[in-house]
Amino acid sequence: MKVLGIETSCDETGVAIYDSEQGLLADTLYSQVAMHSEYGGVVPELASRDHIRKLLPLISETLALANLEASSIDAVAYTAGPGLVGALMVGASTGRALAMGWGVPAIGVHHMEGHLLAPMLEDNPPEFPFVALLVSGGHTQLVKVPRIGSYELLGESLDDAAGEAFDKAAKMLGLDYPGGPLIAKLAAKGDRSRLRFPRPMTDRPGLDFSFSGLKTFTMNTIAAHKVDGQLSAQDQADIAAAFEEAAVDTLTIKCRRALQQTGLKQLIIAGGVSANLRLRESLEKMVKKEKAKLFYARQEFCTDNGAMIAYAGCQRLLAGQSSDLVIEARPRWPMDLLEDCR
Domains and CATH numbers, the chain: 2-117+301-337 (3.30.420.40), 127-296 (3.30.420.40)
Q: Which residues are annotated as a binding site for substrate?
A: 134-138, 167, 180, 276
pLDDT band at residue 298, thresholds of 50, 70 and 90? very high
Residue 85 to residue 65: CA distance in whole angstroms: 30
- For residue range 248-276, list pLDDT tens digits in order: 999 999 999 999 999 999 999 999 999 99
Determine if residue 263 is left, alpha or beta; phi over 0 gives left, psi from -120 to 50 gives alpha, anything else beta.
left
- For residue range 174-228, list pLDDT tens digits in order: 999 888 999 999 999 999 999 999 999 999 999 999 999 999 999 999 999 999 9
Residue 203 to residue 233: CA distance in whole angstroms: 32
pLDDT band at residue 4, thresholds of 50, 70 and 90? very high
- For residue range 99-121, list pLDDT tens digits in order: 999 999 999 999 999 999 999 99
Residue 183 to residue 192: CA distance in whole angstroms: 13
Determine if residue 67 is left, alpha or beta; phi over 0 gives left, psi from -120 to 50 gives alpha, anything else beta.
left
Residue 230 to residue 235: CA distance in whole angstroms: 10
Model pTM score:
0.95
Q: Which residues are annotated as a binding site for Fe cation?
A: 111, 115, 304
- The candidate with the shortest Cα–Cα distance to 162, out of 198, 136, 131, 193, is 136
Give the relative orientation of helices 179-187 and 277-289 as an angle to the nearest 10 degrees.
70
Residue 112 to residue 271: CA distance in whole angstroms: 8
Q: Which residues are annotated as a binding site?
A: 111, 115, 134-138, 167, 180, 276, 304
pLDDT band at residue 158, thresholds of 50, 70 and 90? very high
Under a CB-based contact definition with an 8 Å cutoff, are residues 88 and 80 in contact? yes
**First-residue to last-residue Cα distance in the chain:** 19
